[in-house]
Amino acid sequence: MEKKIRLHDKSFRMFIPNEDIEKAIDAVADRLNNDYADATDEDPVVMLCTLNGAVIFAAELLKRIQFPLVLKACKLSSYVGTSSTGVVKTEVPLPSRLEGKRVLIVEDIVDTGCTIVAMVDQLKERKAKDIRVCTLLLKKEVYKKDVKLDYVAMEIPNRFIVGFGLDYDELGRNIKDIYVLDE
């Protein structure tokens, strides 16, 4: 029988099993280990985790990353319910001292791209020397911005999903597989 869950007023069905997510993360982590192999303790990569959605993805990456890094976090939000408002609110600001640093943004999902554009703009203002984006998921049909998405673990169609850190009005983050809204 197909696995289904209910969160608030909506039902969701199984979409991406945990094993597939983990395999996609393995592949991205291999690329990161290769591309950042020259990082040193004196010049570590700054991994900037976007709260709350990217916490599980960031933790899974951390378990696999072998180069020196420091972990930072920020929180921006644009989603209410199951759609983007297009207005990005900063709830926990980005760290201030990033001048000359290599920053790797770790996102759960890129949809319209408003959030990622706002983050990259703020990192440029802070004079980070290299800014790259690593996202677990990308809604490719929706994303029309110019910011390069350097590392994309998985592409998905334009559907609302939950699980593996992603929420529907704060619920569903603790589900280990990814579920899609059942319409």
- Catalytic center residues: 111
179 binds ligand IMP (CB under 6 A): no
Residue 96 carries which side chain, given as an amino acid letter? S
Question: What residue has token string 């029309």?
Answer: 144
107 binds ligand IMP (CB under 6 A): yes
Least distance in angstroms from the C-beta of 101 to Mg ion: 22
What's the token pair of residue 85?
Answer: 């408002």
Which residue in 7, 65, 105, 109 binds ligand IMP (CB under 6 A)?
109
In whole angstroms, what is the distance from residue 138 CA to residue 102 CA?
23
The HSE-up count of residue 166 (CA atoms within 13 Å, CB side) is 25
Q: What string marks each residue from 97 to 116 as x (binds Mg ion by CB under 5 A) or -? A: -----------x--------
122 binds ligand IMP (CB under 6 A): no
Q: Which does 78 bind (CB under 5 to 8 A by kind): ligand IMP, Mg ion, none?
A: ligand IMP
Cβ closest to ligand IMP, residue 66 vs residue 90 = 90
Mode of pairing for the β-strands spanning 10-16 and 178-181:
antiparallel
Of 26-34, 39-47, 95-103, 156-164, the segment contacting ligand IMP by CB under 6 A is 156-164
Side-by-side strand order, sheet with 130-139: 83-92, 69-80, 45-51, 102-110, 130-139, 151-156
Q: Which does 106 bind (CB under 5 to 8 A by kind): ligand IMP, Mg ion, none?
A: none
- Applying CB under 6 A, the site for ligand IMP has a residue count of 18
DSSP 41: S
Which residue in 115, 123, 152, 163 binds ligand IMP (CB under 6 A)?
115
Selection from 144, 147, 107, 106 nearest residue 124 by Cα = 147
53 binds Mg ion (CB under 5 A): yes
Cβ(54)–Cβ(136) below 8 Å: yes
> Under the rule (CB under 6 A), what is the footprint of ligand IMP?
53, 78-79, 84, 107-115, 160-162, 166-167
